[in-house]
Amino acid sequence: MKYGLPALLFGLLILFSGMSGAEELPTSEATAECLECHTITHPGIVASWQKSRHSKITPKQGMSVEGLARKVSSKTVSDALQNNVVGCAECHALRPGAHADTFDHNGHDIHVVVSPDDCAVCHTTEAGQYAKNIMSHAFNNLNGNPLFGKLEVSITGRKKFTEVVIATGNFFKTDYHKLHQFYFLPSKLKVGDVFSLTRH
């Protein structure tokens, strides 16, 4: 008992002295800009990134790892990405022309969704493996599944779609009854009406 407190204090001293010597890894200017605001507005997302492997190693360092510990499977990574940790901008500003959700955000072309093709820049092998996995086709598999549609609505409530339907003569013969099972349809439809689909 008489050595307990000094031993605890000595242990804490060793722990904190080791932490102060940790090397500061380079972060790109674009990611640093992201972190200035998003540390305040999205602290959980930033904290999750800070704990991730992406925040602790640069692609160049990752490419130098040998054997099974190597996580960067691409043989080459562009010079622009090699020397900084993989932060916000390195993924969410990568290949903006390939993303329908790209928008201007404080002078940067940003997309919210990071796709497997973005990940493939550093993780070619893993992206190829993912493409063969049933999970990579989940959206298309579930989107047309009526049971999933009902589950989605039971969890999220009504779901509005941006798709617009124009009622035609054929619509009333075939599609009306199929759509009515899953969507609220206007009660007084006539040929030529334009309306949005809303899930039950």
Please name each of the domains of the chain with its CATH number: 26-132 (1.10.780.10), 144-199 (no CATH)
Most confident of 59-68, 97-106, 146-155, 171-180: 59-68
For residue 182, pLDDT beyond 70: no
Angle at 136 between CA 134 and CA 139, to 5 degrees: 100
For the residues 153-174, what does the mean pLDDT come to? 55
Residue 89's pLDDT is what? 96
pLDDT band at 161 (very low <50, low <70, confident <90, very high): very low
As a whole number, mean pLDDT of residues 101-127 equals 92
pLDDT at 145: 80
User: Whole-number mean pLDDT of the chain?
Assistant: 78
Indicate the burial class of 59 (C-beta count within 10 angstroms; 0-12, 13-18, 19 or more): buried
Mean pLDDT of 98-121: 90
More reliable by pLDDT, 122 or 159:
122
159 neighbors 197 (Cβ within 8 angstroms): no
- Lowest-pLDDT range, 56-65, 129-138, 184-193? 184-193
Per residue in 45-78, pLDDT (tens digit) is 999 999 999 999 999 999 999 999 999 999 999 9
Lowest mean pLDDT among 48-62, 159-173, 174-188: 159-173
Please, which pLDDT band fits residue 191 given cuts at 50, 70 and 90? Answer: low
**For position 35, what pLDDT does the model report?**
96
**pLDDT value, residue 48:** 96
Average of pLDDT values for 152-179? 55
3 state SS for the chain: CCCHHHHHHHHHHHHHHHHHCCCCCCCCHHHHHHHHHHHHHCHHHHHHHHHCHHHCCCHHHHHCCCHHHCCCCCCCCCHHHHCCCCCHHHHHCCCHHHCCCCEEECCEEECCCCCHHHHCCCCHHHHHHHHHCHHHHHHHHHHCCHHHHHHHHHHHCCCEEEEEEECCHHHHHHHHHHHHCCEECCCCCCCCCEEEEEEC
